[in-house]
Structure 1
């Protein structure tokens, strides 16, 4: 017997056909969850959310249009399909858009541990948030709280196409966070910590999150601007994933097809330090970015995108693969109101063998970055500039906090100068261990 969601998505596809579409696909996302925000021991918000969203893409010849709604009565679905077909007829022809062929569609949907069926009550969430905040406020020098929060949510995703594909998956997520404030000599500092995971049992303990938030905040007091010059820069594990995320954008097939990536001519070439492996794994158990099929119904697989520093492939959906005359790789991601686009899933830089302390030990003078602000990254040239804060390193030891710094370089040079630590957190969908990059330009005082 079909579920309500399956009946609903079938109704969407039938409506598209009745409106005159040659083909269609539809996506449904049903989300529900609880969240609690507290501040200074008092609940400021306790929310329960439940929502349905659907998206439809229709094809009229080589013309296409996408549309979305959260109004799911039969009359609105009929009107939605009619509007989508009318929009498609006015759109320019695109020789690259199509539905997946039957032999390209996922025929076997794997089992994957990505749903925590034990719903967390508001009372439990409140207790987690209070534990985190209480632990943070117990530290001498913490003068105020910006609040703590805890959440639990589930999303049920279903994708179907007019040529017979239909499959779904359910994914959960839980989180806890705390933000606190300290003051010294009229200077206020704020910092945070958090933990997020697919299964609540994989979260860090709430009191540990609070203690960490307080320690981070207190360590920032008395910050000054760093020296200006070329120095080794350590990206703390907390911020190192930004480099991985930037690489994901640079090897996105849509950017390659447009010619807007600094790596567009680098396939098969050494783009990173020897020994570095960048991996995309949609089938990782309990992965935040895990999925059983892609946004166009294609099967997914673990891919070694950069092997021993050599770039081996692009993230491709059907359209970008066609533009590049390549085979799609099952990397399409859907948004409700738009066409699919290539995307990473669980994308990470493999762990190294050094501890972060060992990576710092031989630095005569350098910068440990724990916070990043703003971004000026030119994806065409690779020029890179970010605001940063953290700690100054002298003779292999952390000497004090720094703020209002800018770090700059070029991503081509940066990728070739990476050394990795061994402290990756695999709960994140985009992840990396702490990284050392020598020769970065640091601007401060």
Structure 2
């Protein structure tokens, strides 16, 4: 399959040059996916899809345009190139547009050694159905659970190939196996919903259906009789499963596009303390068996481990070629792209320094406050860092969980919040965002 994708990208480059493009890059992607949904012990939905998609970006001077298609016939490729060149001629000039220089390109052209694709055969639909049914049954065995919202299992395999007129050509495969269960506890207006799931590149790494289903049921049942918490300033402990959202705000603020626009609350923070000085934030796109790993970026540049925050201090921005040129810097090898849009900067696998205490230790330390396990909605001011989000979880009194809470709002300022985080030691190492539970003192909670 990879060879066919290689041929497609080279054909796209050839027709682009013939149509008048000065430079071009092309992407071809093919994939297979299978998914099943169970409800009430019966199969509710089953789906299988296969397809190949192609994307082309052409440049004429400092103008560019992107087109995509799911038809790979030669006449379609020619029509794509003609259309893209016509669009580029009408596009505004951008002084930062351009492919990488040949000496910037990655020598690595595949993902050998990263274990991104499972050698095991594609699971049969019956296997997926059985996994979803087992998760559903385990959730229903939990006291208080009244029904299952959904239990889903899926598998996917994707092949990708990228080529450009600067000489780059490379591709790799990726698989994904997933299982999810959402349970409902209680009845009527008192119903509560929560879930659990797992997604892995390698099927044998996936958690058992019983573990996932039981966890989903227990999470839903634990929220029964939830009420609104008190209003005031309290410590807030972000549970591990949602703590990554805080670090996501930091990553968004150091994205090169936000910096180039001046739309970041960290735009003037390079070299300054943005996290506690005991913490670092490291990106590693070459971690094995991890969904965010990749051997090269979408512009053919090598990916490499880098420190975004070192001992609390911000060391640099996340850059692709265009944003790097705009800022007078060098790309960090973080270009990502879809089939119908030009590259933009994105982060891969990141890991925050873990603490030396458990989540339970932090619960005891916080005394009275809020343990957040889920969040909805958000009002985030990218320029100032003003932060407000809806939340639910558990109220903590005297260092112990007292009762479940819902319908409250947490507010603060991200720049201040990030400097005060206290990490637990419970991050899951297989995730692409390895972030433990995080305690933040002195946030405003709006409840009753």
Report the Cα distance in structure 2 between the residues aligned to 1:288 and 1:176, rounded to whole angstroms.
Answer: 15
Q: Does residue 262 of the first structure (1) align with residue 265 of the second (2)? A: yes
Partner of 1:10: 10
Partner of 1:195: 198
- Aligned pair count reads 445
Correspondence for 2:119 among 117, 123, 133: 117
Q: Distance in 1 between matches of 2:173 and 2:308?
A: 27
Per-residue CA deviations over 1:286-313 (Å, capped at 9, x if unaligned) read: 1111101000000000111001110011
Residues in 2 aligned to 1:54 and 1:426: alpha-carbon distance in whole angstroms: 34
Native 8 Å contact 1:184 1:221 kept in 2? no
Once the two structures are TM-superposed, the CA of residue 362 in structure 1 deviates from its matched residue by: 2.2
- Following superposition of structure 1 onto structure 2, how do residues 16-55 of structure 1 map, counting pairs within 5 Å? 16-55=16-55
User: How big is the shift at 1:144?
Assistant: 1.1
Counterpart Cα distance in 2 of 1:316 and 1:170: 25
In structure 1, how many angstroms separate the alpha carbons of the residues matched to 2:196 and 2:179? 9
| 2:356 alignment counterpart | 353
Residue-by-residue CA offset, 1:25-62 (whole Å, 9 max, x unaligned): 00111111211111111111121111211111101011
Residues of 2 paired with 1:44 and 1:428: CA distance? Answer: 30
Q: 2:402 aligns with which of 395, 399, 402?
A: 399
TM-fit CA distance, 1:157:
1.1
Partner of 1:94: 94
**Corresponding position: 1:168 with 2:171:** yes
- 1:237–1:434: 8 Å Cα contact kept in structure 2? yes
SS at match of 2:14: helix
Gaps of 5+ in 2: none
- Asked if structure 2 preserves the Cα contact closer than 8 Å seen for 1:373 and 1:386, the reply is yes
Distance 2:356 2:375 in 1: 25
Q: 2:389 aligns with which of 386, 390, 393?
A: 386
Q: Tell whether the 8 Å contact from 2:5 to 2:160 is kept in structure 1 after alignment.
A: no
- C-alpha separation in 2, matches of 1:185 and 1:306: 47
- Counterpart in 2 of 1:229? 232
TM-score, structure 1 normalization: 0.98
For 1:96 and 1:50, locate their aligned partners in 2 and report how far apart those are by CA, in whole Å: 37
Q: Counterpart in 1 of 2:317?
A: 314
The 1:229–1:291 alpha-carbon spacing in structure 2 relative to 1, beyond 3 Å, is same
Q: Are 1:19 and 1:82, in contact at CA under 8 Å, matched by a contact in 2?
A: yes
Tell me the equivalent position of 2:294. 291
From 308, 325, 330, the counterpart of 1:305: 308
Using the TM superposition, name which of 408-417 and 343-352 deviates more.
343-352
What's the Cα RMSD here?
A: 1.3
Superposed CA offset, 1:137-175 (max 9, x none): 112221111110111111111110012110001111111
Structure-2 residue corresponding to 1:81: 81
Q: Is the 8 A contact 1:346 1:430 kept in 2?
A: yes
Alpha carbons 1:244, 1:348 under 8 Å: kept: no
* Equivalent position SS for 1:389: strand
Query: In the alignment, what sits opposite 2:137?
Result: 134
| 2:222 is the counterpart of 1:216 | no
TM norm structure 2 = 0.97
Deviations 1:47-89 (A, max 9, x none): 1111211111101011111111111111111011000000000
Q: Does 1:179 align with 2:182?
A: yes
Deviations 1:307-348 (A, max 9, x none): 111001111000000011001110000111100000001123
Aligned residue in 1 for 2:256? 253
1:2 is displaced (CA, Å) by 8.0
Distance 1:426 1:85 in 2: 45
Q: What CA deviation, in whole Å up to 9, does each residue of 1:203-245 have, x standing for no partner?
A: 1111011100110001100000001111010000010011111
**Residues 25-34 or 128-137, more deviating:** 25-34
> 1:71 is matched with which residue?
71
Please state if 1:415 is matched with 2:427.
Answer: no
Instruction: Give distance in 1, aligned partners of 2:417 and 2:249.
Output: 12
Stretch of structure 1 that moved more, 348-357 or 228-237: 348-357
